[in-house]
Structure 1
Amino acid sequence: MNAYNPQGGPPPYDPYRPYGPYGPQPVPPPVPPVRRVGPARRLWRAVGPLAAGRKVFRPSRPGRVDDPAVARMQRVRTVVGLCAVVWVTFSYKLAASAADLADDRLDQSWNAVLVLSVTFPVVVGALIGMARPPARRELLRRARKPFGSILALIGGVALFPAAVLSGLADGRLATNPVMTAVTVVVVLLMLVWVLPFIAYGVGMSLVHVFRTADIHETVPPLLALVLVWEMALIDLLTGAYEGVPGPVRIVLVLGAPFSVTAVALWELRRLRVGYGLTLRGALMR
């Protein structure tokens, strides 16, 4: 009995099946044809914006614990929170259209990235300062790639105002055929490569918290916890969700911090119980 003969016993006779010392041999399943990929597609897969984004914004430290249960919980929380915001936005007419809602979510995501880029050096610097000297050197070495992802994202965004201020965007530099060709190539590169790289980087920076798992597995939940309460404070100070009834507004402003705090504490407990990873261990305290 095998995959080719589930009923057991001798295989049925097939005049086209090759014979072996014990009779007819099973024929292997057909091999699917290999799809050929052209050199342009291979190059795009290697150096395209998403390929570069995966290398820049995803954690890659060898031996890092990557718990799929935590990733599922984070996705569920994100989907539930997004559905709640969409429902409230359209129920109380806070956005005129889906495009306005998308613009609002994009602005909020970019604001979160900016706050996170400021919070990151403060929190990580405090952890490195509290660590013992052997752990301090190791944590400082591991922080290079997360810090590089911040610089890559901010540098990509800075290209657009630089193009406007330099006159590249409106064609002021296209004074001769050579500069015209350079202008077209640079503008196309920014639209086709830099813009998708930034969009992908914003999402990955929020999901992976600037790849701080490369520093230690306990850093992302701690940093996410600090970030979400900072964003809640900003929402309170700026009067977010105006026009929504008071109880619903409180739920919207405080729902994300409480849910992220619960997920972060659960993740820290799971790392401690399941893998023996604690912040104190990371600091060698």
Structure 2
Amino acid sequence: MVEDRTVRRLQLWRTVAGFVAWVWLTLTYTAISDSGKAADVVSERFTQSWVSVLVLICTFPVVVGAFCAAARGGLRRVYVRRALKCLGAVVTVVVSMFTFPLAMAPELEGLRDLVGIPGKVVIAILALWSLGFALYGIGLSLVHVFRTADIHEVLPPVLATILVWEMAIADVSTGAYQNVPPLARVAFMMGAPVTVTVLSAWELHRLRRHHGLSLRAALRG
């Protein structure tokens, strides 16, 4: 495991760059006339972050599976064992969200009435805990890409690049940011993936130059 502060900062910068771009877009082009609309904007950003995590969860097994399958001989078994730890992080974040239906879903009102006040208190505590854990998990998953560096150091920048372009395609297909002027909308939607791609390429370059780690070497041993 490589301990390189510059690489860790690059991983953080990838996330910060996307957040700063969103703040710039919001302050410049989104007219927040009341607190209700402000709450909608914050809710939209949280939803988009959670969608990023869900896309990452779906992308994770495909990319990691392809990476493990492409590795030679003994490396394949090593990477599969390491991937199980990262898979545990994915499962934990998803499971943490399952307490929200217990606490909020109208369809489960009968169950909440059945457990009584003590049960409702326990459910509320679990819901608050899961909210904090989910927010923490979203942050970690977006910055550290579900700790995929534990499999191999080249995986986080590769996964981050794939994820950000998937999200850009999703934004284009769903017509996101309709209230933003066309040129600024294109610049924003393309700015995030281009910025993340550049930072990821820089991270891969540093790993290769300073630590002798590359995608080719990771697969061939």
Query: Structure 2-normalised TM-score?
Result: 0.89
Deviations 1:83-123 (A, max 9, x none): 33223223322655443322111111000000000000000
CA contact (8 A) 2:79 2:151 kept: yes
State the 1:166 CA deviation: 6.7
Amino acid at match of 2:122: V
Q: For residues 75 and 98 of structure 1, what CA distance do their matches in structure 2 show?
A: 26
- For residues 94 and 117 of structure 1, the distance between their equivalents in structure 2, rounded to whole angstroms, comes to 33
Q: RMSD in angstroms over aligned alpha carbons?
A: 2.1
In structure 2, the residue corresponding to 1:172 is in which secondary structure? helix
Deviations 1:175-220 (A, max 9, x none): xxxx4323322322322x2221111011111111011011000000
* Equivalent residue number for residue 142 of structure 2: 206
Distance 1:77 1:276 in 2: 22
Report how many aligned residue pairs link the two structures. Answer: 217
Listed one character per residue, the Cα deviations across residues 115-139 of structure 1 (whole Å, up to 9, x for unaligned) are: 0000000001111111112011000
The 2-side partners of 1:66 and 1:171 are apart by: 48
Aligned to 2:67: 127
* Matching residue within 157, 181, 187 for 1:245: 181
Encode CA deviations 1:243-282: one digit per residue, 9 max, x unaligned: 2122111110000111111111111111011001112222
Larger Rg: 1
- 8 Å contact from structure 2 (residues 71, 220) kept in 1: yes
Decide whether the 8 Å contact of 1:272 with 1:278 is kept in 2. Answer: yes
Contact 1:173 1:180 (C-alpha < 8 Å) held by counterparts: no
| Percent of residue pairs identical | 48
Conserved? CA contact 2:12–2:143, under 8 Å: no
Whether 1:167 and 2:104 are equivalent positions in the alignment is no
Distance of 2:17 and 2:111 partners within structure 1: 42
Aligned to 2:121: 184
The answer to whether the aligner puts 1:65 opposite 2:6 as a matched pair is: no
For 2:61 and 2:154, locate their aligned partners in 1 and report how far apart those are by CA, in whole Å.
16
Rounded to whole Å, the distance in 2 between the matches of 1:153 and 1:118 is 13
Q: Distance in 1 between matches of 2:164 and 2:145?
A: 11
Letter in 1 for 2:94: I
* Residues 1:74 and 1:212: Cα distance change in structure 2 (over 3 Å): closer
Given candidates 151, 166, 178, the residue that maps to 1:230 is: 166
Alpha-carbon separation, structure 2, partners of 1:75 and 1:132: 31
Q: Work out which structure has the larger RCO, using CA pairs closer than 8 Å and 6 or more positions apart in sequence.
A: 2
Partner of 1:143, secondary structure, is helix
Structure 1: gaps of 5 or more residues? 1-63
1 or 2, which has the higher helix percentage?
2
Does the 8 Å contact 2:99/2:126 carry over to 1? Answer: no
Mapped pair 1:82 → 2:22: no
**Pair 1:226–1:76, CA change in 2 (3 A):** closer
Superimposed CA distance per residue, residues 35-58 of structure 1 (whole angstroms, 9 cap, x where no aligned partner): xxxxxxxxxxxxxxxxxxxxxxxx
Cα distance change of structure 1 residues 80 and 268 upon mapping to structure 2, 3 Å threshold: closer
Structure 1 partner of 2:87: 147
Q: Secondary structure at the match of 2:30?
A: coil
Following the alignment from structure 2 to structure 1, what is the Cα–Cα distance between the partners of residues 14 and 140?
Answer: 16
Q: 1:211 to 1:94 in 2, by over 3 A?
A: farther
Counterpart CA distance in 2 for 1:203 and 1:173 is 35
- One-letter code aligned to 1:211: R
- Counterparts in 2 of 1:171 and 1:159: CA distance versus 1, 3 Å: closer
Q: CA deviation at 1:159?
A: 2.2
